[in-house]
Amino acid sequence: MNRLEIPANANLRATGERPAAAGRIGILIVNLGTPDATDAGSVRRYLREFLSDRRVIENQGLVWKFILNAIILTVRPARKGRDYDKIWNRERNESPLKTITRAQAGKLRGMIDGPGVVVDWAMRYGNPSMESRLEALVKLGCERILLVPLYPQYAAATTATVCDAAFATLTKLRFQPALRVMPPYYDDPVYIEALASSIEAELRTLPFAPEVILASFHGLPKSYAEAGDPYPDHCAETVRLLRERLGLDDSKLMLTFQSRFGRAEWLQPYTDKTVEALAQRGVKNLAVVTPGFSADCLETLEEIAVENGDIFKAHGGTNFALIPCLNDSEPGMTLLAHLVRRELQGWV
């Protein structure tokens, strides 16, 4: 069997024994995560896991623990649950991020050739967990595993925490698989072309011509960048290359950062403040692309399309559009297959 799929409900535990069907190669694509449902309890469990990660919130001292438990996990779950409810995939009873990541894995399965290749997917926070899927790959005889963090730009709070979770799982195994981790691909020509072609295709479908396009990336505390995180440089290089490919200058394709919280300063310029300022300046037609997200999720479908769309129109704007992420589109899957094939060299 060339390509294998692990049943989603498989209850597999890795042991010290070498599986009979050994020698396979596993590919695990990983995205950030999602609650299992929109109720406050489910969102609270998800937020607790996410915000307790020392890569995400670096200062996990007593003050933060009080804020997290007494304020955030008391107030935010119900509110965030309502936000998730706006975008929830009711047919599958799951978030769009889970639906899209599953689809990406399914399509990738049909694009990667090689004997004994197993493609699976996981969420860094929530379900299916990285631990469960890594253990399942090992149980199926995968002695080599390619870890594919779906983050084009490296940040310790995203890519590094995926590695942390994988290594933590490996510490429990007596017979460990060889592990490769796909590096960030913020400047890969295939990635830039996929972004550009998807933007051009989407613009052709809009009933208006945007005067400005924002490239909005997830934010990061400024202190993280000052400590050496390359994330803002990676974002800037992605936008520079995208401007070059699309023939736009920095007044037509602008770089911004979204999703900040708390009182600390985050990377600027902020997306919501820029959207407001553009509308007040007289810009009537605006589009937003989110190149740092490989799949549409709460931060794109609700925060950008709904919240920032409302901000734009409330301050004088007329037409607002979210350009979809690459998702499991043809350009997106061409990119993902290209990246995986490159990293499998010498294995397949």
pLDDT classification of 5: cutoffs 50, 70, 90: low
* First CA to last CA distance, the chain: 14
Distance, CA of 47 to CA of 50 (rounded, Å): 5
Express each pLDDT in 223-232 by its tens digit.
999 999 999 9
Distance, CA of 138 to CA of 134 (rounded, Å): 6
Could you tell me the pTM of the whole model?
0.92
Express each pLDDT in 297-306 by its tens digit.
999 999 999 9
Q: Structural domains in the chain?
A: 3-183+330-343 (3.40.50.1400), 189-323 (3.40.50.1400)
Cα 76 to Cα 6, 47, 60, 193, 309, distances in angstroms: 35, 9, 19, 38, 22
Q: Where are the beta strands (DSSP E) in 127-208?
A: 142-149, 178-181
Q: Answer yes or no: is pLDDT of 3 > 50.
A: no
